[in-house]
Structure 1
Amino acid sequence: MTTISEQPMPTSITDEPTWLAKRRATGVDLFKSLAMPTARDEDWRFASVGKLSIDDFAPVEAPANATLDALTERSNLVSTRAGRSVYVDDAPANFEGVSQELAEQGVIYLPLAEAIAQHPELLEKYFLQESTELGSQKFFGLHAATVKAGAVLYVPKGVEIADPFVNYYWTSGARSAVFPHTLVIAEDNSKISVVDLFFSETTENEALNISVSNIHAGANAHVFRKIVQDWNEKTVSFQLDTTVAERDAQVQNVAVNIGAERARFESQTRIEGPGADVKMYSLTVAEESQEFDQRTYQTHNAGNAVSDLLYKNALLDNSRTIFSGLIKVAEGAQQTDAYQTNRNLLLDPTADANALPGLEILANDVRCSHGATTGNVDEAELFYMMQRGISRRVAMQLMVFGFFEEVIEKIDSDELAENVRQLIHNKFESKIK
C-alpha cells in the first residue's frame, strides 16, 4: 500500500476540468515542497510537533454496504433537516437532496463530485480557492490533491431556508485517511444553516482527517454553521476553515471539540464589507493525553464591521490546549469592533493550557480587545459536592457544563444542544470507575 506520506493518492473523480487538475497539481507541489512542522516554527509554537505523524495512513476502499447502512442509521443527531449527506471513509453512504420546492428556487445541494460535473463554473470560482495561512499549508496541499468527498451548498439571492443541511463524516477502516470538504455559498440576502459532524465508527479504528470548510456569505446573507468533532482518541485531525463575509453579512460559527488524539483547528475569518458581523464560539473538552491546537485569524479589510470570538477549553488529566489568535485591522478599516477571548478551566494540576492572543491594528478609529484567562478548578466547590456523595469525576462534569453553557446556548437547536451535552456526558462517563 502506498501511503500519503510517500505520494498523494489519486482521487476517484473522473473527467475533472482543467482548472481543477491544475489546483490539484498545485496541492501536490505544496505537500512535497513544504517540510513537516518543527518546534522552531512560530505557527506551531507550543504544539507537540515531535509526536505529529501522518505516516502509514492512506485512503481505504469503500466499506461494506452493511457498514454504510449502519453508520447512516447512526447519523441521527439532527432529525429535522433540509438535506443530509453521510460519508464513511470518504465513500458516499447516503445523500438526501433538496426538496422540489427548493430546487425550483435554484438551491443546489450536491455531493462534491456531482457538483463539479454539473456546475463547473460555480465550483471553479470557489472550490479550493481559500487556503490556510496559519501553518498547515502542507496539509492543505494534501487535501487539495486528494479530496473527493464532501457537500456543496449553494443558495441563490433572497432564498431563506429554516431547516439545516447536515453533513456527517465517519471513519471506519484501519489507518484510514479522509479528506472531507464542505463548501457553502450564500448569495445576497439569503439565509441558511449548516451542521458538520465528525465521528469514528469505533473507539479503536485509527484515522487521519484533513478536512476543509469554506463559507462565502454575500451581502446581507445570514449563515449559521455548527461543527461537532467527536473522533475517537486514535485519530489525528486537521480542520482548516475559512469564512468570507461581505457587506452586512451575518455569520455565526459554533464549534464543539471532544475527540481525537491530536486535533488542530485553523479558523480564518475575512471581513470584506462594512456592516458585517461574524461571531465565533468554541468549546473543547480535553482529557488524558489529548492535545487540541487552535489557531485563529480575524482579518478586517472593511470598516464599520464586527467580529467576536470566544473559545472555552476545559482540561483534565495530562491534556494540553493551545490557543493562538490574531486580529488584523487593515489600513482604512475604521470603526472596526473586534474581540477575542480565550478562557481555560484546569480540572487537574497536570493539565496545560497555552494562550497567545494578538492584535495588528493599522487603523486609528477602532475598538479592539483580546484576552486570555486560565483558572484552576474550585476545590471548595468540588469538596462540597463530594461530601454529598457525588464522585470527583461527576462533580467535575457538572462544573464543566456550567462553564460551557454560555457556548452551548448559542446552538439554535434544542435537539442538537441536548445531543452535544450527551456527547460531553459520554466522555466523562466512559472514564468514571
Structure 2
Amino acid sequence: MSTPSVNTSAEIPAGFGEAAFEAFLATRDEPAWVTESRRQAFQRYCELLETELDPEEWRRVDLRALRPDRFQLCAAQAEQSTAPETETLLTGQADFAGHVKHTDGQLISSEMSEELAAKGVIFGDLATVVREHGELIQPYFMTRAVDSQRDRFSAWHAAFWTGGTVLYVPRNVVVDAPLHSLITLQADKAADLSHTLVILEEGASATLLEETASVSDDLLGLHVGAVELILAKEARLRYVQLQNWNHKVWHIAHQAGRVENNGFLQWTVGGIGAKLAHIHQDVVLDGRGSEAEVNGVTFSTDNQIHSFYTQQSHNAAETRSDLLYKQVLRDQARSIWRGMIRVEKEGQQTNGYQRNDSLMLSPTCRADAIPGLEIEADDVRCTHGATAGRVDEEQIFYCMSRGMSEYEAMHMIVEGFFQTVFDRIPVEAVRETLNQAIIKKLGFGR
C-alpha cells in the first residue's frame, strides 16, 4: 500500500469542518489504521453534531459561547523549534525519570532514563509511538477505555487528536521515580487535542504526573482531550493531572481508567485554571479485588466553571472504589459535580464510596453536587454524600484576634479544608504544588 505524501508546511483552516479535516490529514505521517479510524470518527462527529448531548451530563453546563470555528489546529512541523520555557506548578518540585513536552499539540521534547529504556519501558510522544510501535498501541487506543462513539466531544477528539503522551510498562517492571508530561498552549486561539495513554502490564508499577498550562494569561485556547489508564492484573498506577490553563481556555475531556484483578489505581485531579472545564471521568473495576482511589481538588475564582461527571463502575466481586472531591469557590464561580456508583450483578461484596464537599468564600458563587447509586447486586456496601457551606466568620475573627491577617486566616481555613485530600496523596511534590496553587489563588485580585 502506498503512503500518501505529507505536507508539514500546509496551514490548516480554522474550525473543524471537512476542509480543516482533510488539510489536517495531509500534515500527518501515520499508519493506515490510524487514518481510517480518524475518518470513521469524523463521520461520527458530523452525525453527532445534529444530536442533543446527554441532558443528565450536560444540562448544567452552558456551551452557547463555545465557538469551535474560532480555533485552529497547528500543522505538524518537520523540525519543531524550541518553545519558550513555561513556569508550571511542578517546576523544580521533583526529579523525574523522564519527561514529554507538547506545545499547541506538537512535540517539543521527550526524554527518558536509559535504565528504564533497557527494561522495555516506553515513554514518549503518542504520534511517534504509534508509528514505531503500532502493533502494541492499536489494541488499546480508544478501544477499551474512552469510547469515541459516546458523544460529539469524544468523536471530535478521535478525529483530530494532535499528539500526547504514551507510557507503557512491561510485566513486573517497577518505575520508582515519577515521570512528567507537560501540555502547553502558546499561540492565540490554538486548539490542543492531546491524548494520554497509559498501559501497565501484569505486576507493573509507575507514577505519572501530568500538567497543562498556558504560556500567557491573554491567550484564547481550546483543549478537547482524552486520558486512558489501562491496568492489568496486580498493576499499580499513580496518575496526577494538574489543570492550570489560563481563564480564557475551554477544557473538555473524556477520561477513563480500567483495572483488572487486584490492580490499584490512584487518580488525583487538580482543577485550577480554565474558563470552563468539563471532565467526564470513568473508573471501571473489571477484575476481582481491584481498587481505585480518586482524589479531586478544585479552586474556582472570578467566573470560572469547573464541572465533573464521575462514574465508578464495579463489574467484578470484592472491588473497592473511594472518591473524594473537595472544591473551593469564590467570586461568581461555579462548580458542578454529578457522581454515580454503579454495581453490576457480578459485583458482590463491593465497597463503593463517594463524597463531594464545597467551601464557598463569597455569597455570589454556586455549587451543585448530585451523588447517585445504581446497584444490581445484593451484597454490597455503597455510600455517598455531599456538603456545601460558607466559611465561618467566627473562625476568621478568632484567627485575626491571634495576630493573623484576614488573608492568612483564610489560607489556613482553606488549607485545612483540603487537608483530608492532601493526606491521601503520597507524592510530596504534588501536595506542595497544590498548596502553592491555593496560595496563588487566594491572592488573586488582592
Q: What interval of TM-score do these two structures reach, taking the shorter chain for normalisation?
A: over 0.9
Q: Which residue matches 2:375?
A: 361
Aligned residues of 1:62 and 1:89 also touching (Cα < 8 A): no
1:411 & 1:150 partners in 2: Cα distance?
25
RMSD: 2.5
Q: Report the more deviating stretch, 50-59 or 66-75.
A: 66-75
SS at match of 1:23: helix
Aligned residues of 1:298 and 1:327 also touching (Cα < 8 A): yes
Aligned residues of 1:281 and 1:309 also touching (Cα < 8 A): yes
Following superposition, the deviation at residue 40 of structure 1 comes to 8.0
Q: Which residue matches 1:89?
A: 104
Aligned residues of 1:132 and 1:266 also touching (Cα < 8 A): no
Q: Does 1:117 align with 2:128?
A: no
Aligned length: 431
Following superposition, the deviation at residue 395 of structure 1 comes to 3.1
- The percentage of counterpart residues that share the same residue type is 31
SS at match of 1:406: helix
Aligned residues of 1:77 and 1:415 also touching (Cα < 8 A): no
Following superposition, the deviation at residue 337 of structure 1 comes to 0.7
Q: Which residue matches 1:291?
A: 305
Note the alpha carbon deviations across 1:211-251, whole angstroms, 9 max, x for none. Answer: 21111111000100011111100111012211000000011
SS at match of 1:203: coil
| Superposition map of 1:380-419 within 5 A | 380-387=394-401, 390-419=404-433
Q: Which residue matches 2:225?
A: 211
CA separation of 1:292/1:136 partners in 2, compared to 1, >3 Å: closer, same or farther? farther
Following superposition, the deviation at residue 328 of structure 1 comes to 0.8
Aligned residues of 2:258 and 2:286 also touching (Cα < 8 A): yes
Q: Does 1:236 align with 2:236?
A: no
CA separation of 1:132/1:222 partners in 2, compared to 1, >3 Å: closer, same or farther? closer
CA separation of 1:153/1:392 partners in 2, compared to 1, >3 Å: closer, same or farther? same
Following superposition, the deviation at residue 84 of structure 1 comes to 0.2
Please give the TM-score of this superposition, normalised by the length of structure 1. 0.93
Aligned residues of 2:343 and 2:375 also touching (Cα < 8 A): yes
SS at match of 2:70: coil
Q: Does 1:80 align with 2:80?
A: no
**Match among 176, 183, 186 for residue 197 of structure 2:** 183
CA separation of 1:243/1:12 partners in 2, compared to 1, >3 Å: closer, same or farther? farther
SS at match of 2:136: helix
SS at match of 1:192: strand
CA separation of 1:396/1:74 partners in 2, compared to 1, >3 Å: closer, same or farther? closer
Q: Report the more deviating stretch, 377-386 or 86-95.
A: 377-386
Q: Which residue matches 2:162?
A: 148
1:61 & 1:427 partners in 2: Cα distance?
35
2:88 & 2:317 partners in 1: Cα distance?
47
Following superposition, the deviation at residue 73 of structure 1 comes to 9.4
**Match among 322, 341, 360 for residue 336 of structure 2:** 322
2:326 & 2:149 partners in 1: Cα distance?
22
| Superposition map of 1:15-164 within 5 A | 15-35=29-49, 41-60=55-74, 68-71=83-86, 76-99=91-114, 101-130=115-144, 132=146, 137-164=151-178
**Amino acid corresponding to residue 166 of structure 1 in structure 2:** H
CA separation of 1:293/1:242 partners in 2, compared to 1, >3 Å: closer, same or farther? same
| Superposition map of 1:277-356 within 5 A | 277-356=291-370
Following superposition, the deviation at residue 409 of structure 1 comes to 3.0
